[in-house]
Structure formats: structure tokens, C-alpha cells
Amino acid sequence: MRATELRESILKHLEFSQGKDLAHASLYDMRMALTLAIRDRVIEPWFRATRATYAAQSKRVYYLSMEFLIGRLLEDAVMNIGLTEAAHEAISGLGHDFRAVLDDEPDAALGNGGLGRLAACFLDSLSTLGCPAYGYGIRYEHGLFRQSFGPDGRQVETAEDWLRQSHGWEFERPEAAFNIGFGGTVAESGRSAVWTPDNAVVAKAYDTPVIGWQGKWANTLRLWGAEPLSAFDLAAFNKGDFVGAAQPEAFARTISRVLYPDDTTEQGKELRLKQEFFFTAASLRDILRRFTAEHGDLSALPSRVAIQMNDTHPAIAGPELVRLLHDERGMEFEQAVDTARACLSYTNHTLLPEALERWPETLMSAVLPRHMQLIERIDALHAQQFPVRSTPIVEKGEVKMGELSFIMANRVNGVSALHTELVKSTVFADLHALHPERIINETNGVTPRRWLKGANHGLSTLITDTIGEGWEDNLERLVELEPAIEDRGFRDRFAAVKKTNKVHLSNWIGDQMGIAVNPDAMFDVQVKRFHEYKRQHLNILETIALWQEIRANPGAGWAPRVKIFGGKAAPGYVMAKEIIHLINNVARVINADAATRDLLTVVYPPNYNVTMAERLIPAADLSEQISTAGKEASGTGNMKFSLNGALTIGTLDGANVEIRDLVGPENFFLFGMTADEVVERRRHPDHASSAIAASPRLSAAIDLIEAGTFSNGDRSTYRGLTQNLRAHDYFTVCADFDSYWDAQRAVDTAWGDADHWMRMAALNTARSGWFSSDRTIKGYMKDVWNIQPMI
């Protein structure tokens, strides 16, 4: 029935939306027709949710995020509305391969990594829980760059063009457009002021419906695209100045052209500040427009509007909302500040000092002159209300967006228990002393619909066969698997699912990279952005040491391993790129060594993204979560792996701490210094050299790199990397090396008892239910937004 109906709908869209008949339909045509047929079925719940929200005059959540790493949408939407089988049948019946149709969709990489993926998981949970919400962000023409590797193993970046084909999910909203100004002058006017920008662009809305589990509710992801006020300077064109004629267009479109790579070392990018203001200001205008259409009195704003700032990127929301209320709507300044604060909350995502945004005062004054004045007034008001010395927002010629966000937020949250304690005791220690109720914890989570149901069909089927349906939106029910784990039969099925996933991945690696990997070997996976704090170099050093040890002692009963790496480095991050280069060349050398071929393989497929994560994670046996303790705020990759039955080798960092507590320390391979020990150890100037001197294995691995083993005899290639390890090693790779090595050998031993390994793996799945982003969003709804679900 449903397949027949869907088939009709696909054929209708093929003909009337794509202008094709079935005989001439390309894969793209089929994918677009299916997308539009599915989108049609999302409209009804979407409208229903909007009407219900208006009727109940409900509060709404506005999630402001510079990044939404949404990946592909079709398979997820089909699954959420329960049409997977019908769609499969309809597409097959029309003579096309369903999997190929799904795989034809580009991966929308509108984010760098964890922060953007969190925003995407939150959208899914907000809809699943029936929480009225909008996601607001930027419709980047080019998402994060596409990564490939040159013949020498270096990262090569090219532009991502996901919008080259039309994006079937979105609705363009020419009527929802706002002029966003920059620069200009400020004229005093009574007690407030009038800002006259000297240039402006139009922010135009593009809406994507976000359907929740079982189609019960849908929210909107509204992304802003930048356009010129006037498309074209006809006067210039008529004078023959064709390039000049296109200037206004070029400037405007630049604003939503590219996603900035998470380039923690680069500072003072004017365009980035403009992007931040662009999407934040457009979103606030839109929020106030919606509010005033329904209500009159702006003092009621906080009872209807909860705005979440995902990191400091939308921090300009504080002064902009004050400006809208005070300058434009005549509210008293102090009341405007209080009203804005009652609407705003802020999520901190990092303690790395270089990643905490600061803007030169001169730049802020030039781009946003009125906001600079308001920031100074907010600073002065805070100093007057809390005369105890605290860190000012504006200091040494810089505007500190973390302090601004804290002072303008009613709640500030960390993203794991450990991270939240560190937020209290480090970056915001003095503000925390003044506002001890403000900082709370909301440990991150991931959506089980995408990361288990969608990505791991075998395991999902096994779970449903064992505990019945209904775990998808009630993930803590996974604990009901525990009694079954005692059965050998269940463990064998669990092992068979893992094996099938590994065979699929092996085939894919063979196709993509021409490398044969043994699906019976342990799949040891580290996939995440490249950063020194995430310590991919610790992993590759251990790989080199292991290779040496296997060569020296080939008969020692080694557990065969496939080391899998994935991830991009910010184009300007030299050290991270050097680590990528090293890994590719270690892979080349080790994979060519006949003596170790059956025991150790290193693969690094390029262009890690959400789609690749969905492929790799269900096939992983071992999850590498090896950051320097105190540096990873939470991690969400760690949760996806554990949920999919991988064991973690990790430090006591971020949410690893909570994962270990929940799955049990006996089902987790812990190593390394604690956050406190790292800080203490770093006080010793020789912390790295003494660790190298004390570890013959580490010493030999570094020597091999320096001898040119992985650089065709060139001894200088990795000098930057090895010198840094020997001399500085801020991320304490050397001091943690031996502990990591020992933990890896404990992993080998555990792997030797295959049945016990599967028991541990299954217990990871059974005990990871708490890491559903539904639990996280329920926490925000209760503790941060004070909002009730509508379903």
C-alpha cells in the first residue's frame, strides 16, 4: 500500500519536478524525486507542529549555531517517518538501487566537527521530544573543504560544493529577509542612539524541516544566505566597468561563501566577525518579528523566547538584543540588559585559550560601532553591580567574547561533568564566584536514530529482537539487553553483526584505497579533527613502536590490527598537517612490509565526514579517545563508538569519564595522567626529554622518524614535529606514551579471549543509553530553557 502510494508520488515528482520520464531518469533524478516525495510527507506534521505552537502560545527555543554538521538527510528522514521499507520497495520496483539513490546525496558539511554535529543531533532530539524550536545558522555555499592526499601524503584542500546540485530539502523564503548593516556612525539621540551603517547586505532565509522520530513533530532549521541589496550596478556596467558592476554582489555573497575552518591559531578575521553578526542579527530580528506578531509587551519576551548560544560565535546576540530593545524599541538600558539576559544562555565548548574568541577593539568599533559602545556600557554596569574585581569584557584593547557571553547569559553550561568543573575553576573562575548559580552541566549526547538505528542496521535488528521496539526514543531501555548478554547465543549474534559491519568496511576500503584489510583483525579507529590535543601523534608513535616490536618478535602471538585514521586538519595548522603527512607515510612503509603484513595495517581514508563516520563507527572494535586530559571538553565520537559496541582506550578526559563510570571500568581501557597530573607534570621543564630517556620504545620510534625511515631517507622532513616533542610537548605525548603502550598491550590480551571481548562490547552498548541527545535536550529544557514538551 504505502510503497504503491510512494511510487506514484516519486513518478509524479520525476515528471513534474524533474521533467523526466522513468526511462531517462538519472540517479540524481531518482534521488530528487524520492527526496521531494518524502519532503511532501514531512509537510503535514511540520504545519501541525507550527499550528500547535501558535495555538498554545508556547515558548520556543532558538538554537544559534555557526555550524550544523547535518550530513545526508534523506535516509534519516525516510527512517524517521517509518517509510524505509516502502521507499526501498518503490525504488527497486522502478528499477533503481535504493542504496545507490541514498548514496547519491551530497554530505552537507556545514560544520567542522563535534560542535556542529552536536547542533545537528540536538535538532533531531528537539523534534523527537516535541520541543518547539528553530535552529539558526548560515547557509554556506561551500561547507568545510574537501580533503584529499597528494602523492607525497600531504593534505590537499579543495572547495566543497554541496550546493552545485539543487538542495531538495529546503524552501527559499524571499519574504523572510532582513538588511544587516556594518560600519558607519552612531548619533546620540536622547538616552539611546541611532546607528547608521555604511554598508549592508540582505539576509535571506532558507528553511529545512527537521522531522522527529515517527514523524510526531517537526521543527525548522533556518539558514541565512547573504545577498546584495541591489544585485548589480547597472550604471557601472553601462560605462563598461563589468567587474566593478559586480562588486556589490561579490561583497555580499562573500559573507555566506565559506565555513571557516576551526583554525585556532589565526586571529582577527574581519569576515568571520561579519559572519557572526550577520546570522545572529538576522536571527534576532526574526525572533522579535515572530514575538511581536503574537504579543505586545516586550517585557514578556523571556517567557516566550529562549536563545541558546552554541559557543561564543553568536555572542554578539547580547549587545544586539540590547540594541534592538533599547535603541530601537525604547526600553530602558538596564531593563534591556536584564531582558536580554533572561532570554540568553551560553554553552562553552573549549578551555583552550587560543580558541576563546577575542576581537581587537579597533575592529569591533569599525565593524559594529554601536555594539562596541553597548559592550562598554554592559561592562560598566556589571562592574557597578558587582564591585568585586572581575575580568572585564574589554581588556588590553580586546573584546573577550567568553566574558561577554557569560555576563549576558542566565545560564552557562559545560558539556561534560569534568569540563564543567574546569570551566568553574579556570576560564570563568572569578565570574563563577560572583554568579555561583549560573554555571551548570549538560553532558553532550548523540541521536540514536542516526548513530544506531540508521548507521547500524544489524545491531538495531538484534536489539529489537531482544528487547522489542521503542528503544529508539527511550535509549536507557538498552540496559534490558544485559540479561541477554549472559547468553552465548546473543553474544554470537552480536559478534556476527560486528563481523558483517567489518566485512562491509573492508570491502569499501578495498574499493576506495586498494588496500586489503583482514576483517578478522581488530579494527582500531581514531576519527576526529586533527589537533595536537587529540594526539593522533601519540597513536602513530605507538603504531611505529608496535611495528618494530612485531618485527623483532614475530612469533609472540600478536593480535592482528588494522589502525584506521580519519580526519581533517585546519589548512593553517602546520603541526596538525605534519602529523597527517607522517601518518600517510608510516602507512605506506608499514603496509609494504611483508614481515608484518598479516599483523599490522594502517589505513587513512581521506575526507572524513558524517557519512564516513556512519560507515566506520559500526565496524570499530577499539575507539581511540586519547586526548591530553583536561583538553577535550566532552567528545561525542566517544559516545557513538561505545553505543555501537566498541571498547574505548582513553584518558580521563571529557565525557570519557562518564562513559567509563557507566560501562564499568572493567570494560574500558584507561591510561594516562589525569588533568591535574598533566598540569603538575608540565611544571617540570624536562617532562618530555625525561620521558623519552626513560622509554626505549618511544625513543626508538622518534629516532626512526628522524632517521628518515618514513621520508625516503630525508632526515629533515618531520623535524618540526619531533623537535617539538623533544623540547616542548605541551600536550604531554611523551609523558603518557608508556602508559598508552601498556594499555594497548592489555587490549591485545583482552582481544585474545574473543567471547569475553564481545561480552564487554555488548555491555558498552547496553550501558550507553544515557548518552542519547534526548537526555541532554531534556536537561536543557528543564534546567536552562524552562520549556514544556508539546507531545
Ligand X SMILES: *Cc1c(COP(=O)(O)O)cnc(C)c1O
Residue numbers annotated as active site: 349, 528-529, 534, 636, 640
Q: How far apart are CA 477 and CA 470, in angstroms?
A: 8
With respect to ligand X, which residue has the nearer C-beta, 114 or 448?
114
Identify the three-state secondary structure at position 461.
Answer: helix
Identify the three-state secondary structure at position 399.
Answer: strand
Q: How far apart are CA 659 and CA 654, in angstroms?
A: 9
Give the Cβ contact number of residue 190 at 10 Å. 7
With respect to ligand X, which residue has the nearer C-beta, 394 or 610?
610
The residue type found at 723 is Q
> What is the nearest approach in angstroms of ligand X to the Cβ of residue 765?
17
Give the Cβ contact number of residue 240 at 10 Å. 8
With respect to ligand X, which residue has the nearer C-beta, 18 or 656?
656
> What is the nearest approach in angstroms of ligand X to the Cβ of residue 567?
8
> What is the nearest approach in angstroms of ligand X to the Cβ of residue 640?
6
Q: How far apart are CA 308 and CA 142, in angstroms?
A: 25
Identify the three-state secondary structure at position 722.
Answer: helix
Write down the residue that cell numbers 535536550 correspond to: 777
Sheet-wide strand order for 622-625: 600-603, 561-566, 522-527, 622-625, 647-650, 669-670
Contact, 731 vs 628, CB < 8 A? Answer: yes
Identify the three-state secondary structure at position 103.
Answer: helix
Q: How far apart are CA 145 and CA 129, in angstroms?
A: 33
Q: How far apart are CA 308 and CA 442, in angstroms?
A: 13
Closest CA to 407 of 314, 453, 344: 344
With respect to ligand X, which residue has the nearer C-beta, 118 or 203?
118
Q: Nearest residue by C-beta to ligand X?
A: 637
> What is the nearest approach in angstroms of ligand X to the Cβ of residue 525?
10
Q: How far apart are CA 285 and CA 593, in angstroms?
A: 62
> What is the nearest approach in angstroms of ligand X to the Cβ of residue 114?
4
Identify the three-state secondary structure at position 628.
Answer: coil
With respect to ligand X, which residue has the nearer C-beta, 312 or 609?
609
Q: List residues binding ligand X (CB under 6 A).
A: 113-114, 117, 528, 609-610, 613, 635-637, 640
> What is the nearest approach in angstroms of ligand X to the Cβ of residue 548?
28
- For 294, the grid coordinates are 503574537
Q: How far apart are CA 96 and CA 83, in angstroms?
A: 17
> What is the nearest approach in angstroms of ligand X to the Cβ of residue 641?
9
Q: How far apart are CA 56 and CA 84, in angstroms?
A: 33
With respect to ligand X, which residue has the nearer C-beta, 109 or 781?
109
Q: How far apart are CA 92 and CA 18, in angstroms?
A: 19
Give the Cβ contact number of residue 473 at 10 Å. 18
DSSP code, position 630: T
Closest CA to 632 of 612, 652, 614: 652
With respect to ligand X, which residue has the nearer C-beta, 149 or 251?
149
With respect to ligand X, which residue has the nearer C-beta, 20 or 534?
534
Q: How far apart are CA 513 and CA 117, in angstroms?
A: 26
With respect to ligand X, which residue has the nearer C-beta, 69 or 77?
69
Supply the DSSP string of 519-560, one letter for each residue.
TTSEEEEEES---GGGTHHHHHHHHHHHHHHHHH-TTS-PPP
Q: How far apart are CA 315 and CA 308, in angstroms?
A: 10
> What is the nearest approach in angstroms of ligand X to the Cβ of residue 170?
21
Give the Cβ contact number of residue 324 at 10 Å. 19
Q: How far apart are CA 368 and CA 195, in angstroms?
A: 9
> What is the nearest approach in angstroms of ligand X to the Cβ of residue 671?
17
Please, where are the H alpha helices in 263-368?
270-294, 301-304, 317-323, 333-343, 361-367
Contact, 157 vs 607, CB < 8 A? Answer: no
Angle at 351 between CA 345 and CA 357, to 5 degrees: 70
> What is the nearest approach in angstroms of ligand X to the Cβ of residue 365?
36
Which helix (H) or strand (E) segment holds residue 181: the answer is strand 171-182
- For 410, the grid coordinates are 542566565
Q: How far apart are CA 135 and CA 219, in angstroms?
A: 8
Cα separation of the two ends of the chain: 28
> What is the nearest approach in angstroms of ligand X to the Cβ of residue 678?
19
Q: For residue 27, which phi and psi values (nearest 5 degrees)? A: -55, -45
- For 432, the grid coordinates are 563563577
With respect to ligand X, which residue has the nearer C-beta, 162 or 710?
162
> What is the nearest approach in angstroms of ligand X to the Cβ of residue 568?
9
> What is the nearest approach in angstroms of ligand X to the Cβ of residue 152?
25
With respect to ligand X, which residue has the nearer C-beta, 399 or 540?
540
Contact, 35 vs 81, CB < 8 A? Answer: no
Contact, 402 vs 356, CB < 8 A? Answer: yes
Q: For residue 695, which phi and psi values (nearest 5 degrees)? A: -125, 100
Residues 6+ apart with CB under 8 A from 272: 260
